[in-house]
Structure 1
């Protein structure tokens, strides 16, 4: 007998749930598990410094952030890469990888339920395009063999690059100086010897070769176009034997007679010049000097007496007590101390600037090395300097100075390769020359070899230009306080940059305002930066306008400079 079971829909539904519920849950879990992680907001991240800044040729940032609660899937890894994005390209920094709770690995684990805090360090080698740039974070999610990218997050914008305005090319290289002197003073001397206790001038003293030569030199100095007789001095002496009163009278009379003689000679030669005269009653200093140079047997004893007694009479008494010794003194030493010395001061006048410049171009071999080196300082043309210094190196190949100065002129023309070539030639001749060492340091600085530059600058102690060079080195290394100290009171754009970067804006303004010969568009631009940092809009716009009028390239530079981000300078940079 067939008994039909009555269909119960409620019971059937219960039975179906028991059958399909696990399956539905499994499908739901699978669906949820496959859902991609969503993008993150910039609010979850902070960047220090903000804005970013170039320090020592690097743009460095510390990025702190947070993965929110119930966000980070348990079976995924997320790789975060900072990118600095700029017109025409982007640069990546080192990546950081984070993992979910069920991933086996050595990366920082992020809790799904609680989320997690992260810290990343990013560093980029600076290039000029980065001045106008944005810092992004890129996220790559990996689960098993599958991966996908989350939308990038912009966390910072702009890079302060004021430090990069510093320029080693503007540092003045060290000149190896000439020793040229247009006027060289020379002395011509002649002595008149007197007999003991006498002041009259003997005829034989006026006919000596020394006296004849003296008068010829005086006459020549009075008449020659390239000489000038500056004056004549007469110093008369008495030997220290005899009393002070007697010696005073003797020395004074010797002076009078010698002055009278010289006046007669000058009048005879129709020579006009100033004359001065003085006398010394007892020439103990001369006595001591002659004894020291002599071979007298008891000279140590005599010198000891001189040191023991300061009173002239006591000295004379003690020396005369040494009877045998005193006889030698009377014969060999004392006669030399009874004299008048006539000294003519003569200026030798060298070639004029015009003469030297003309000869440097037409007949360089007729000039001395120092005259040629001096000729190089008489022109502002770098090409003319190079030609003069090269000729000096050719004519005088064994002196490093000419080679150094050729390199200096090339460096000022911003031809670093040729400058280095000539500095190395100078170093072969004199590797320890401080000018050469400093200039080689500038080459190393231009090549960003800061360690070598520091070593070479250290070998250039005493060079005036070294302060500026060392200051720029510290700027390039990002050591701004050291840069300020190195610059000292230097008035230059580079020195002002160091002061801006250490936030000494008043000093930076004073430095820039004090620049005279070297004031240029960069000087005015830096004054605008000082204005921006001190909230002086008028100072910003006035100096930017002047800078752009001197150098039109400043338009684009200012438009991309985050220093002026809060000012409307569009009318200046169109």
Structure 2
């Protein structure tokens, strides 16, 4: 009787156990961990690593389970790559999970960031089957929201330092004019022929013109008298000195006659080896390299002269073609041209820009802080000097700083069509970053070598690419919003605080970054006060702060709640 009852009971237990092994119901969130625990946008992506576990006595031996990470927000979702798992009795190449022992697994997802993800939830969705039978496993929520602080680069790059098409204006331009008086061998007398040469005539005319001009000054007139390096040091010492003396007497007489008061500085060189070497190196004379080698080997002037004379094949050419050019007095008029004053330039830029050079007109724009006045000046520059890229570039900067990306792009393209300069390329790179096009930004900045602002611009690019430490190094001690953002993302909070305090023209995003820094360093007064200042400057930041997980700890703070309403 007992045996008859035992067999049906055993069958019921086996069926029951078999039925239990087929269940594969709801999974607890405790079986899953996410890294990072709070999702974060990095370089335009939201990366996450999910470590999951199928518990013991759960995975049906004949089941196949597909697991897909899905990031959901109001009105949309993004799916990651699906992973497939199989039971012990399934023939396939997917990861096998033991029914008795269960099993661990790791999944990775990398979602393309969109702003709506700030208020989102990460789920794991399951699609399970046993043969033709569908098994329902409810989705499991494994994470909340996405920290999107890195995406602020799209806003902070707008205050980055751009590359101006700078003017080359010089108020004082130094000029010089030279003329030579040539001498016969071993003579110091000034010849009438030389004093009537076109060079001397032109020099005297220029001296008088500079002296008479209101916007010119004579600094001095230099006399440098020389003797050629042949004939011995003692002879040449006297000869060069006499040439200097005679030339100075002549010049002083001419200055007195022209009623010009100018400083005359005179000197002489007994043996002009430097001039000799220069003339030989530029000549096509035979054995030129041998002569130059002698000059480099011997420093004693007499030995140099002997060695060169020993090269009998070329010495006659030297005596005929080179040495006569060294028997001279060189007169140099050093003077300066004094440009227009700032007041004159600013007035002409406003009333009669045609009277200004392109350098003066571009310089005029630096004399005002008014964006409207700068725009007017640069516009005139494009009209008067259409083949100069700088005014178009600078108009693009004004548009960029005003937030008009389309207008900035138009001006930058025009500037590039005139000349694709490093400055234009850098500005186009910053604009591409502001538009979210990292590939175009990288290409443009790769052509911006030589610009002072390049490291800073690259810092902005590295933030956008998620390379935070590299960005911090590129920024150095630059005091901008983007530099502070990089330091916050790299968790270098002390440096970020110093940077934010040093920004010369803080804006709404400067304050917003201070608020983020305050929240991350548990400085609630800094967080709330800075956020208040940011919203006062830009009211749209209230809604951003409301969904920003950087401020999650303040969701019950009454001061915070008042700000985001």
1:28-67 matches, within 5 Å, as: 39-67=26-54
> Could you tell me how far apart the structure 1 residues matched to 2:228 and 2:55 are?
106
Closer, same or farther in 2 for the Cα pair 1:379/1:423, shift >3 Å? same
Shift of 1:280: 0.8
Matching residue of 1:453: 441
Matched residue, 1:482:
470
Q: Is the 8 A contact 1:541 1:569 kept in 2?
A: no
The answer for the alignment partner of 1:417 in structure 2 is 406
The aligned counterpart of 2:275 is 286
Within 5 Å, give how 1:319-334 maps onto structure 2: 333-334=322-323
- Tell me which residue corresponds to 1:184: 173
The counterpart of 1:494, out of the listed 475, 482, 494, is 482
The alignment yields a C-alpha RMSD, in angstroms, of 4.3
Cα distance in 1 between the residues matched to 2:78 and 2:297: 85
Identify which of 263, 267, 277 aligns with 2:266.
277
CA distance in 1, matches of 2:258, 2:286: 48
1:555 touches 1:572 (CA, 8 Å); kept in 2?
no
- Partner Cα distance (1:78, 1:463) in 2: 56
Q: 1:103 to 1:333 in 2, by over 3 A?
A: closer
What is the alpha-carbon distance in structure 2 between the residues aligned to residue 78 and residue 333 of structure 1? 95
Judge conservation of contact 1:173–1:411 (CA < 8 Å) in 2.
Answer: no
Bigger shift: 386-395 or 224-233?
A: 386-395
Seen in structure 2, the aligned counterparts of structure 1 residues 75 and 199 have a Cα distance that, compared at 3 Å, is: closer
Deviation at 1:204, TM superposition (A): 5.2
With normalisation by structure 2, the TM-score equals 0.81
Uncovered stretches (5+) of structure 1, i.e. residues with no partner = 1-10
SS in 2 for 1:66: strand
The change in CA–CA distance for 1:380 and 1:467 in structure 2 (over 3 A counts) is same
Provide the rounded CA distance (Å) in 2 between the counterparts of 1:55 and 1:319.
Answer: 73
Within a 5 Å distance, the mapping from 1:157-556 to structure 2 comes to 157-167=144-154, 168-199=157-188, 201=190, 205-267=194-256, 269-292=258-281, 306-307=295-296, 309-317=298-306, 333-382=322-371, 384-430=373-419, 433-516=421-504, 518-537=505-524, 539-541=526-528, 543-556=530-543
The CA deviation at 1:52 is 1.2
Q: Structure 1 residue 233: deviation in Å?
A: 1.9
Q: Greater shift after overlay, 310-319 or 232-241? A: 310-319
Provide structure 2 residue ranges, at least 5 long, that are not aligned to the other structure.
Answer: none
Rate the CA distance shift 1:101–1:320 in 2: closer, same or farther, 3 A. Answer: closer
- How many angstroms does 1:58 deviate by? 1.5
Paired residue secondary structure (1:340):
strand
Q: Please point out which of 81, 88, 112 is paired with 1:125.
A: 112
Query: Bigger radius of gyration, 1 or 2?
Result: 1
SS at match of 2:408: helix
1:222, 1:540 → 2: CA distance? 67
CA 83–380 in structure 1, closer or farther in 2 if over 3 Å, else same = farther
Aligned-residue offset at 1:443: 4.6
Q: For the Cα contact (< 8 Å) 2:159–2:480, is it kept in 1?
A: no
**Cα separation, partners in 2 of 1:155 and 1:261, compared to 1, 3 Å:** same
| CA–CA separation in structure 1 for the residues paired with 2:560 and 2:220 | 67
Note closer, same or farther for the CA distance 1:383–1:105 as it changes in structure 2 (3 Å cut). farther
Given that residues 21 and 59 in structure 2 are in contact (C-alpha distance below 8 angstroms), is that contact kept between their aligned partners in structure 1? Answer: no
- Give 1:283 deviation, angstroms: 1.4
* Secondary structure of 1:467 counterpart: helix
The equivalent of 1:7 in structure 2 is none
1-side partners of 2:162 and 2:244: how far apart?
55
Deviation at 1:187, TM superposition (A): 0.3
Deviations 1:332-359 (A, max 9, x none): 5444433322212121233344444444
Distance 1:471 1:522 in 2: 17
Cα deviation for residue 80 of structure 1 reads 4.7
Cα shift readout 1:420-477 (whole Å, capped 9, x = no counterpart): 344344444445x333433443454445443443333223322222222222222222
8 Å Cα contact 1:467/1:490 also seen in 2: no
**Alignment correspondent of 1:6:** none
Q: Distance in 1 between matches of 2:486 and 2:459?
A: 8
Structure 1 residues 489, 452: closer, same or farther in 2, change over 3 A?
same
1:419 CA displacement: 3.3
Is the CA contact 1:559–1:570 (under 8 Å) kept in the aligned structure 2? Answer: no
Secondary structure of the corresponding residue to residue 210 of structure 1: helix
Cα shift at 1:54:
0.8
SS of the residue corresponding to residue 228 of structure 2 reads: coil
